[in-house]
Amino acid sequence: MLEIDNLVAGYGGVPVLRDINAKMAAGEIVGLLGANNAGKTTLINALSGMVKPISGRILFLGEDISKLTPQARVELGIVQVPEGRLVFPEMSIRENLLLGGINAHARKHRPQQMEKVIGLFPRLGERLTQSAGSLSGGEQQMLAIGRGLMAEAKLLMLDEPSLGLSPLFVQYIFEIIDKLHADGLTILLVEQNLNLTLRHAKRCYVLERGQVAVEGDAETVKNDPRTRSAYLGL
């Protein structure tokens, strides 16, 4: 479904990511791990089109998307749930969800999609008119995921969904992620939390200073000494 070929990308012409190669099959749940500043957010922003590639290619469903705008990529179903959630604080839950489905492709099916999202997160459905800024961190994370689902994602990229949440909410959010995966959604799970991710993702990539240091199935990554060193920055 997704193929990244020798991707080099960064800010203002200065590379942060160097020679990234990665692949994801449809229906897979893949973990993207790495210490703080390893380049995880930069990589999913490159996939979203928010960071322009310096060289290399990104293929989605066989098509080269590396020159497409962020809007075009959302329309294809490449959807990001950003780090820090970034809900629209002065808008209601309902308006946030409507904005999630604003792209030309998803717009037609918003009412049905909204039903599904509310079915998944009844807590959001109970307070559709409440402003997003007044929600707790965990509720905002639900809203951010719900908003991403409104876009009719084919590939859902979650950037540190557990960040700043209480253990109970982390557990809840990961149950939701498992459920979405079981329903067939392709998920790229970006996390700093190593053990948590290894429990939910079948396969992982570990980034270290903008390069893939380790890749393989969860067990391999867990036992590879380079994983620890990538985290400790050795």
Ligand X SMILES: Nc1ncnc2c1ncn2[C@@H]1O[C@H](COP(=O)(O)OP(=O)(O)O)[C@@H](O)[C@H]1O
List the one residue from 42, 80, 113, 141 that touches another protein (CB under 8 A). Answer: 80
Residues 39-68 that bind Mg ion (CB under 5 A): 40-41
95 makes contact, choosing from Mg ion, another protein, ligand X, none, with CB < 5 to 8 Å by partner type, with: another protein
Say which residues have a Cβ less than 8 Å from residue 102's Cβ, sequence separation at least 6.
none
The site string for ligand X over 23-62 (x = CB under 6 A, - otherwise) reads -----------x-xxxxxxx--------------------
- Judged by CB under 8 A, how many residues of this single chain contact another protein? 26
The site string for Mg ion over 76-115 (x = CB under 5 A, - otherwise) reads -------x--------------------------------
Contact between 78 and 108 under an 8 Å Cβ cutoff? The reply is: no
Give CA torsion, residues 41, 46, 51, 54, to 10 deg.
Answer: 120
Residues 155-214 that bind another protein (CB under 8 A): none
Rounded CA-CA distance 80/161 in Å is 11
Listed ranges 58-66, 103-111, 135-143, 163-171: which one lies at the site for another protein (CB under 8 A): 103-111
Taking the CA of residue 41 as centre, how many other CA atoms within 13 Å lie in the half-sphere pointing to its CB?
13
Contact between 43 and 17 under an 8 Å Cβ cutoff? The reply is: yes
Say which residues have a Cβ less than 8 Å from residue 186's Cβ, sequence separation at least 6.
1, 2, 24, 25, 26, 27, 28, 29, 154, 155, 156
Considering the complex, what minimum distance in angstroms separates the CB of residue 39 from ligand X? 4
Residues 104-163 that bind ligand X (CB under 6 A): none
Which residue from 87, 99, 96, 102 is spatially nearest to 128, judged by alpha carbons? 96
The strand pairing partners of 174, in sequence order, are none
List the one residue from 103, 113, 141, 227 that touches another protein (CB under 8 A). Answer: 103
Where on the chain is the footprint of another protein (CB under 8 A)? 48, 50, 69-71, 74-75, 79-80, 82, 86-91, 95, 98-100, 102-104, 107, 147, 151
Return residues touching ligand X (CB under 6 A): 11, 16, 34, 36-42
Q: Residues interacting with Mg ion, by CB under 5 A? A: 40-41, 83
